[in-house]
Amino acid sequence: MTAGTKTVLVEGVRYVVTASMLNLRAEPDIDAEMLRVLETGDAVTVLELMDGQWARVSSENASLGDLECYVAKAYLGKR
């Protein structure tokens, strides 16, 4: 993390994907490895908010398995 980065831990807040497709990434960076893709309406549990731009999430989707990764927070909406 860079200097001035703010991280906020949250306790399992559920969100849904609002974009048509949302990349799940290995690290909170646009150039990080893409692990999977979520679609509109898919649910994730936010574990940590990072600098207002990224969220560390857990996806408990049957087709994806239990996966912790990072997504751009701008494409998540409260459930």
Q: pLDDT (tens digit, 0 to 9) for every residue of the chain, 79 residues total? A: 455 556 665 667 889 999 999 999 999 999 999 998 999 999 898 888 888 799 999 876 655 566 789 999 999 998 7
End-to-end CA distance of the chain: 29
Side-chain-side CA neighbours of 40 within 13 Å: the count stands at 3
36, 49 in Cβ contact below 8 A? no
Domain boundaries, the chain: 7-78
Q: What is the CATH number of domain 7-78?
A: 2.30.30.40
